[in-house]
Structure 1
Amino acid sequence: MNIKVRSGDTLWYYSQLFMIPIQLIIDSNQNVDSNSLQVGQVIKVPGFTTNNYTIKQNDTFWKIARERNLSIDAILLLNQELNPNQLQVGRTIKVPRRMVTSLVQRGKRYDSSRLFRDIGELREAYPFIEVNTIGESVLGKPLYEIKLGRGSKKVHLNASFHANEWITSPIIMTLLNSYLLSLTNNSPIRGLNMLNLYNQVELSIVPMVNPDGVDLVLNGPPEAVREEVININKGSTDFTGWKANINGVDLNNQYPAKWEIEKERKEPKSPAPRDYPGDAPLTEPEAIAMADLASREGFNRMLAFHTQGEEFYWGYEGLEPPESRVLATEFERVSGYQAIQNIDSHAGFKDWFIKEFRRPAFTLELGRGINPLPLSQFDQIYEKVLGIFLASLYM
């Protein structure tokens, strides 16, 4: 919500008026000198939007404010051109509305267009988040990273490396939305104060690593590559089993962590709906973007959301630090998922992250069943992974 500064206003006053932590208001207005606000300057207030309201007979600002549990000055601030003592019936005014429900809708098919819309709405409603483009997919779709928080501990989460595991994207976006609502409404999640975590942690999220693949599974092939992907899919137009990017390369087999072993033993020797590791490591733009992001940002820990199995993998070749075991024990406790240290697998993003940085990394297999998992599992998956999400921040 945008407001205009009046004489004598301060960010601290806005914090008290709207009951929003001052730090979130400061972070939403990073180009503003908080010690020298200018009359007429536009300030962003996170966690609020505005509704239009038509004045009725016998309405007053006091009555309108009381009905909405608002201060009168909150309404005056949005309607500075009006004389509150001379309200005209039929006149439309703006009324602030606190956001208390999620913008990210549960139970919906979640392709890249829905993700991009949600990112835009969240950035508008919560301007203290930062949205960066870290690269592009094969077909030129942006790969977005969402960042928030002020802490020195850097935690990274990602989803939808695999196309038919697209349910991980709305899960991770719903976790983010819950976090944002908690921050702006001062409402703990499972007893944890989110503002404390915000001040201790910088959170990075890439909610859809493989947008081309997700769109292929959900919407079918785009005309530009229709013939190629149908050929890769052995003539079938059923793409529910497709895990790869649009080039037929499995993005989670693309990393230089004994990639040669996977190349040798994987059955596909050419582009395929799943398991083909490419002609060399890091050939695909999506995989390159994720490796560059991790190398540039120096994350302290990383969680990759996949499906399915209700288990997670946390080791690689004995290179994981002792902290990984501590985190794995807590993740297992709060989720009921089975912690598995090692499996006979290489070339994944988690494997490379541990090998490259010697820091904790986890591959989380959400839910149970056959991919793509049905949306009927969404709430159950969310509740179990919420504990892992919180533990990844506070531990």
Structure 2
Amino acid sequence: MAIQIPRGTQDILPGEVEKWQLIEETAKEICRKYQYQEIRTPIFEQTELFLRGVGDTTDIVQKEMYTFEDRGGRSLTLRPEGTAAVVRSFAENKMYGGANQPVKLYYLGPMFRYERPQAGRYRQFVQFGIEALGSMDPAIDAEVISLAMELYKALGLKKLRLVINSLGDSESRTAHRNALINHFQPRIDEFCGDCQNRLEKNPLRILDCKKDHNHELMKTAPSILEYLNEDSRLYFEKVKQYLSAMEIDYVVDSTLVRGLDYYNHTAFEIMSEAEGFGAITTLCGGGRYNGLVREMGGPDTPGIGFALSVERLISAMDAEGVDLQSEKKIDCFIVALGEEARDHSVILLQNLRHAGFSAERDYLERKIKAQFKAAERLGANFAIIIGEDELKSGVAAVKNLETGEQKELTLNNFVKEFSMLSQ
């Protein structure tokens, strides 16, 4: 029986991978403009990192992690998301002590979650995210949101909806937490087991429940915005002020939450409103997490970031009909006729590549017509024709495949003359 790809994974083949490369290049260029630097962390980490950094009451930790013991008996987990590892690295490498603050980082790489595969969702997926650590200025909250919006728009998405909320500071959250417990407790037996477990541990997570989201108590649950103290309210007003100044449209949604205790103040999601995108519309989620660095053993350092799935991004682009196919052209294709010409083409090809040209030759000893067809399929700008007659004359014919114009260049000085011709 043939071996097949594991469920929930995908092969990204030539012809499709170019789209991924363009997305990655666009993300990296925008990060360069915003002064975010790349960080690369291990594919697997100690399981304890995600218990602390993601939260033991989350579906990710309880149901979706790929966890295993190594030969030393240590519990390790394939990373299900990027923030925890970045914050661990920030604390472990004492990046908080550097001269340039805040520390602005981005990551791009595969993550792993054991969940039901569906359109745009895989068990191995690629996540892009940014983290800004070391500033409590609401302007950096607006900057993080702005970067995410700019990326989506640079990739051609138009049907976007930005939703924001404030979770307040610890005082505001404590007041809201108590209000949620009082609200849900009398009828908690009507909710799923997960919600019942979360009531005392983390009642904010009840608002995220997918099973009971239509329960009438969900609609009447106390809003965090009703419990913001003055400092939290002013902070949120500043974030909204900066977004408006940047001409970034947003909607305030008091039900948008981040369920862990160290999340506070700004929370946001970006959603696709493209027709046919699917029932789950969220493309990107982010927020402020001022207690996470301390949880990882570092000093009390504020942070904010977001993460997005590249697969979900591509699904949204498909739903909007965005075509990101790159120009797959090469500079030249060597058409060689006869064994001596083929031998010479090997050296000529290497010289052209060393000079910076994208070049190819025939490796199947095809006839001249088939070689020209191959050049056409590769989108070659020029065909370089070498045969016995050309070798005797010390020249090669160069044909512009767009105009049909043909010239002869000397083989001894070919690369220099071709450089001038192709400008």
TM-score interval, normalised by the smaller of the two chains: under 0.3
Q: Which has the larger radius of gyration?
A: 2
